[in-house]
């Protein structure tokens, strides 16, 4: 057993014992009151699951094991000559609960590089799709094709003790994360670069190697990838991709099945696909106005038009956040250092000035501020990655770090199958004491 796995096991053993005590002593303590509007409207604000890896504060934003994004940018180990955190370090932090040192991060990097070989049948599955197929469809199918390698699935069918589930889930997690950049880069090069593929470079860190396989070897892009793959990794447990992964995993579906479920959720335009939608929205606006730098007045008018057509302004709003997303701010800071003159970046900043008061004035949008997706596309575009259909795949590669480290915790803590109660409107009528439909 590698030392990270052993460390994880010892941390999980301690935490399992603590949770047992908590439940014995406080299991009947009331956590919240639930009102009918929450039942109908997406279960907002109901604390209904435990996710150890990160916690979201509506005003402050995300903290990973207690560390904010600015703190992580300072304190996580960096690549030689780089100034952005290595996502390997964030994975270690989410899994173990402590900041890693340089050697820990190098160990994770080396483990992933060693396990990164993708079996040929996965490429065959990708090749079986028409090239025009959306990259998220190809990506999700490729994750399912990788499932043939699941150590958890084969161990389970051979008969293993519940106590050992975590160990196989851990192995699948490490292998799946190791292989995702190669799979994603293959889809990119197939769809947008005439199938001319680039072999991995095992000497590079996970993000730099991903950039290399995509065809972007410049230092700026590698730094962007390190930041991007860090900040998109986790957003506590209730968001669609994290929750879907956790839910499916609770049936003891293996990490490949569970992650594929998370990715089909990430592919929705109200969640991860919003990064694609933001760039499309900006490009449509620029095309309509015949400019690459619309004025603030023109942007305001375009927002009103979007709202009047019954559409959402992509990249704005959030189910939990009530302030500007610190992931947006981290990208804005990166852009200020690397590409402040880029017209799309400037448009994103102008949209940021104009949008919140307009959304606020509608009186119904609870959070008028930008989320992570409002900025990411402009940065990718700046470095030449202009194919916006691919953006959600990048999000997905990053999201694997959070949802799969969480899945290791789920199995190590022996969390049961998830099965909330649902009710019917007929049940609600009788609950509120009405025999007829409420007029
Ligand atoms: N533009 C226009 N209308 C918006 C809006 C936006 N950006 N954000 C919310 N609204 C609307 C909702 O559609 C809802 O309208 P109805 O009452 O007519 O149905 C109303 O405002 C209230 O919604 P809310 O409670 O403020 O927001 P929700 O928690 O229901 O939804 C979210 C959150 C993210 C789905 C929503 O803000 C949205 O659709 N934003 C645009 C898409 C987006 O950027 N998604 C990415 C989120 C981050 C991520 O997961 O990656």
| 67, part of any domain | no
pLDDT at 422 over 80: yes
Distance of CA 324 to the CA centre of its chain: 18
Q: Which of 246, 271, 375, 382 is catalytic?
A: 271
Whether 313 is in the pocket of ligand 1, judged by its Cβ within 6 Å, is yes
Whether 62 is in the pocket of ligand 1, judged by its Cβ within 6 Å, is no
Whether 270 is in the pocket of ligand 1, judged by its Cβ within 6 Å, is yes
Whether 363 is in the pocket of ligand 1, judged by its Cβ within 6 Å, is no
- 10 Å Cβ neighbour count for 225? 29
Give bridge partners of residue 61 from the DSSP assignment: 57
Give the model confidence (pLDDT) of 105-161 as tens digits: 999 999 999 999 999 999 999 999 999 999 999 999 999 999 999 999 999 999 999
Q: How many domains does the chain contain in total?
A: 1
User: How far apart are the CA of 317 and the centre of ligand 1, in A?
Assistant: 5
**CA–CA separation, 161 vs 236, rounded Å?**
29
Q: Which domain holds residue 309?
A: 274-382
Q: Which atom of ligand 1 is nearest to the CA of 315?
A: 44
Whether 316 is in the pocket of ligand 1, judged by its Cβ within 6 Å, is yes
| 123, part of any domain | no
* Band of residue 1 on the pLDDT scale cut at 50, 70, 90: confident
Is 373 a residue of the active site? yes
Give the closest residue to 394 by CA, choosing from 314, 279, 257, 246.
279
User: How far apart are the CA of 363 and the centre of ligand 1, in A?
Assistant: 13
User: How far apart are the CA of 366 and the centre of ligand 1, in A?
Assistant: 8
Give the model confidence (pLDDT) of 16-28 as tens digits: 999 999 999 999 9
Considering Cα of 159, then 164, then 166, then 169, what sign does the dihedral take? negative
Is 271 a residue of the active site? yes
- Phi, psi (degrees; rounded to nearest 5) at 76: -80, 145
Report the nearest-CA residue for atom 8 of ligand 1: 317
CA angle 58, 61, 65 (to 5 degrees): 115
- Buried/exposed code over 356-366 (b: 16+ C-beta within 10 A; e: otherwise): bebbeeeeebe
Q: How many CA atoms lie within 13 A of 114 on its CB side?
A: 8
Q: Which atom of ligand 1 is nearest to the CA of 316?
A: 7
CB-based contacts of 399, cutoff 8 Å, min separation 6? 232, 233, 234, 241, 242, 262, 263, 266, 272
In the numeric block, which tokens belong to residue 125? 């599955």
Q: Which of 212, 232, 235, 318 is catalytic?
A: 318
* Band of residue 436 on the pLDDT scale cut at 50, 70, 90: confident
| 198, part of any domain | no
Ligand 1 mutation target, pool 45, 317, 392, most atoms within 8 A of CB: 317
| pLDDT (average), residues 321-343 | 98
Report the nearest-CA residue for atom 25 of ligand 1: 366
Whether 312 is in the pocket of ligand 1, judged by its Cβ within 6 Å, is yes
Give the model confidence (pLDDT) of 153-189 as tens digits: 999 999 999 999 999 999 999 999 999 999 999 999 9
Whether 364 is in the pocket of ligand 1, judged by its Cβ within 6 Å, is yes
8 Å CB contact between 350 and 296 = yes
| pLDDT (average), residues 24-36 | 97
User: How far apart are the CA of 57 and the centre of ligand 1, in A?
Assistant: 18
Share of the chain above pLDDT 70, in %: 100
Q: Which atom of ligand 1 is nearest to the CA of 366?
A: 26
What per-residue confidence (pLDDT) applies to 439? 86
| 259, part of any domain | no
pLDDT at 62 over 80: yes
| 166, part of any domain | no
- 10 Å Cβ neighbour count for 92? 26
Report, in angstroms and rounded to the nearest whole number, the Rg of the chain calculated over CA atoms: 22
Whether 43 is in the pocket of ligand 1, judged by its Cβ within 6 Å, is no
Whether 37 is in the pocket of ligand 1, judged by its Cβ within 6 Å, is no
Average predicted confidence (pLDDT) for the chain: 97
* Band of residue 57 on the pLDDT scale cut at 50, 70, 90: very high
CB-based contacts of 302, cutoff 8 Å, min separation 6? 285, 288, 289, 294
Whether 377 is in the pocket of ligand 1, judged by its Cβ within 6 Å, is no
Report the nearest-CA residue for atom 29 of ligand 1: 319
| 262, part of any domain | no
In the numeric block, which tokens belong to residue 406? 């969480």
User: How far apart are the CA of 159 and the centre of ligand 1, in A?
Assistant: 45
Is 342 a residue of the active site? no
| 282, part of any domain | yes
Instruction: Find the CATH number of the domain harbouring 311.
Output: 1.10.230.10
Give the closest residue to 252 by CA, choosing from 124, 363, 162, 126.
162
In the numeric block, which tokens belong to residue 162? 């519940």
* Band of residue 223 on the pLDDT scale cut at 50, 70, 90: very high
Query: Mapped to the 3 state alphabet, what secondary structure does the chain carry?
Result: CCHHHHHHHHHHHHHHHHHHHHHHHHCCCCCCCCCHHHHHCCCCCCCCCCCCCEEEECCCEEEECCEEHHHHHHHCCECCCCCCECHHHHHHHHHHCCCCCHHHHHHHHHHHHHCCCCCHHHHHHHHCCCCCCCHHHHHHHHHHHHHHHCHHHHHHHHCCCHHHHHHHHHHHHHHHHHHHHHHHHHHHHHHHCCCCCCCCCCCCCHHHHHHHHHCCCCHHHHHHHHHHHHHCCCCCCCCHHHHHHHHHHCCCCCHHHHHHHHHHHHCCCCCCCHHHHHHHHHHHHHHHHCCCCCCHHHHHHHHHHHHHCCCCCCCECCCCCCCCCHHHHHHHHHHHHHCCCCHHHHHHHHHHHHHHHHHHHCCCCCCCCECCHHHHHHHHHHCCCCCHHHHHHHHHHHHHHHHHHHHHHHHHCCCCCCCCCCCCHHHHHHHCCCCCCCC
What per-residue confidence (pLDDT) applies to 435? 83
User: How far apart are the CA of 80 and the centre of ligand 1, in A?
Assistant: 40
Q: How do beta strands 54-57 and 61-64 pair?
A: antiparallel
Whether 366 is in the pocket of ligand 1, judged by its Cβ within 6 Å, is yes
| 159, part of any domain | no
The structure's pTM equals: 0.98
The sheet with strand 61-64 has its strands ordered as 54-57, 61-64, 67-68
8 Å CB contact between 169 and 255 = yes
User: How far apart are the CA of 379 and the centre of ligand 1, in A?
Assistant: 23
**CA–CA separation, 400 vs 40, rounded Å?**
30
Q: Which atom of ligand 1 is nearest to the CA of 240?
A: 50
User: How far apart are the CA of 309 and the centre of ligand 1, in A?
Assistant: 15
């Amino acid at each position: 057993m590698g030392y990270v796995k052993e460390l994880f096991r010892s941390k999980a053993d301690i935490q399992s014992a603590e949770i047992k005590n908590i439940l014995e002593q406080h299991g009947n303590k009331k956590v919240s009151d639930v009102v009918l509007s929450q039942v109908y409207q997406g279960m907002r604000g109901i604390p209904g699951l435990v996710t150890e890896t990160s916690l979201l504060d509506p005003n402050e934003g995300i903290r990973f094991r207690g560390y904010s994004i600015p703190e992580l940018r300072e304190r996580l180990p960096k690549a030689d000559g780089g100034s952005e955190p290595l996502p390997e370090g964030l994975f270690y932090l989410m899994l173990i609960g402590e900041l890693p040192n340089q050697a820990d991060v190098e160990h994770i990097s080396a483990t992933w590089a060693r396990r990164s070989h993708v079996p040929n049948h996965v490429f065959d599955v990708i090749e079986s799709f028409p090239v025009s197929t959306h990259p998220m469809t190809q990506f999700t199918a490729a994750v399912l094709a990788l499932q043939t390698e699941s150590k958890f699935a084969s161990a389970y069918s051979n008969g293993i003790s519940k106590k050992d589930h975590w160990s196989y889930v851990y192995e699948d997690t490490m292998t799946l994360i190791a292989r995702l950049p190669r799979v994603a880069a293959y889809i990119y090069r197939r769809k947008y670069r005439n199938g001319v593929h680039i072999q991995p470079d095992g000497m590079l860190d996970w993000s730099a190697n991903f950039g290399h396989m995509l065809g972007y070897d410049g230092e700026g892009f590698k730094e962007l990838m390190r930041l991007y793959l860090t900040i998109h990794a986790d957003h506590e447990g209730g968001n669609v991709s994290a929750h879907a992964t956790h839910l499916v995993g609770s049936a003891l579906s293996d990490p490949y099945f569970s992650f594929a479920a998370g990715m089909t959720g990430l592919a929705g335009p109200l969640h991860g696909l919003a990064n694609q939608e933001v760039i499309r929205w900006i490009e449509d606006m620029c095309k309509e106005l015949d400019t690459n730098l619309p004025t603030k007045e023109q942007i305001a008018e375009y927002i009103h038009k979007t709202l009047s057509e019954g559409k959402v302004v992509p990249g704005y709003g959030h189910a939990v956040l009530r302030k500007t997303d610190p992931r947006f701010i981290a990208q804005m800071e990166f852009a200020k250092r690397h590409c402040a003159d880029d017209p799309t970046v400037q448009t994103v900043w102008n949209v940021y000035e104009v949008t919140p008061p307009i959304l606020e004035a509608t009186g119904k949008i609870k959070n008028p501020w930008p989320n992570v997706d409002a900025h990411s596309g402009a940065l990718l575009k700046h470095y030449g990655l202009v194919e916006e259909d691919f953006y959600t795949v990048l999000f997905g590669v990053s999201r694997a770090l959070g949802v799969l480290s969480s899945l290791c915790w789920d199995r190590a803590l022996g969390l049961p199958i998830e099965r909330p109660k649902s009710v019917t409107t007929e049940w609600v009528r009788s609950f509120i004491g009405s025999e007829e439909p409420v007029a």
